Amino acid sequence: MNHYTGFYIDRPLGNNVFSYEERENKSIYVPELIEGTLCDVKIGEKVVFNEIDDDGNEVKAKGLERMVEWDTEDGKKVYIFDNHNHAFYFWNDALHQNLFKRGCTLVHVDQHKDTRVPENYDVNTDDMDDVFRYTNEVLNVGSFIKPAMEKKIFSELIIMDSTYSLKENVSGEYVLDIDLDIFSTDMDYIPFADRFDRIQELIKGASVITIATSPYFIEQDKAIKVLKELFSYDII
Q: Domain map of the chain by residue range?
A: 67-230
Distance, in Å, from the CA atom of 104 to the CA atom of 173, rounded to the nearest integer, reads 6
214 Rama class: left (phi>0) / alpha (psi -120 to 50) / beta: left
What single-letter DSSP state applies at residue 147?
Answer: H
Which among 6, 12, 14, 44 has a CA at the least distance from the CA of 26? 12
Distance, in Å, from the CA atom of 193 to the CA atom of 23, rounded to the nearest integer, reads 38
How high is the pLDDT of residue 232? 84
Q: Are 91 and 151 in contact (CB under 8 A)?
A: no
Q: Model-level pTM?
A: 0.96
How high is the pLDDT of residue 89? 98
> Please, what is the angle between helix 192-205 and helix 220-230, to 10°?
50
How high is the pLDDT of residue 233? 58
How high is the pLDDT of residue 218? 97
CA angle 138, 139, 140 (to 5 degrees): 125
Backbone angles phi, psi at 38, to 5 degrees: -60, -25
Residues 143-165 as b or e (16 or more Cβ within 10 Å = b): bbbbbbeebebbeebbbbbeeee
How high is the pLDDT of residue 235? 42
Mean pLDDT by groups of 10 residues along the chain of 236 residues: 94 96 96 97 97 95 98 95 98 98 98 97 98 98 98 98 96 97 97 97 96 97 97 61
Residues 6+ apart with CB under 8 A from 75: 207
Q: Max alpha carbon distance in the chain (Å)?
A: 48
Distance, in Å, from the CA atom of 171 to the CA atom of 2, rounded to the nearest integer, reads 33
How high is the pLDDT of residue 168? 95
> What distance, in Å, lies between the first and last C-alpha atoms of the chain?
28
Instruction: Specify whether domain 67-230 bears CATH 1.10.760.
Output: no
Burial of residue 6, with CB atoms counted within 10 A of its CB: 0-12 exposed, 13-18 middle, 19 or more buried? middle
Residues 6+ apart with CB under 8 A from 193: none
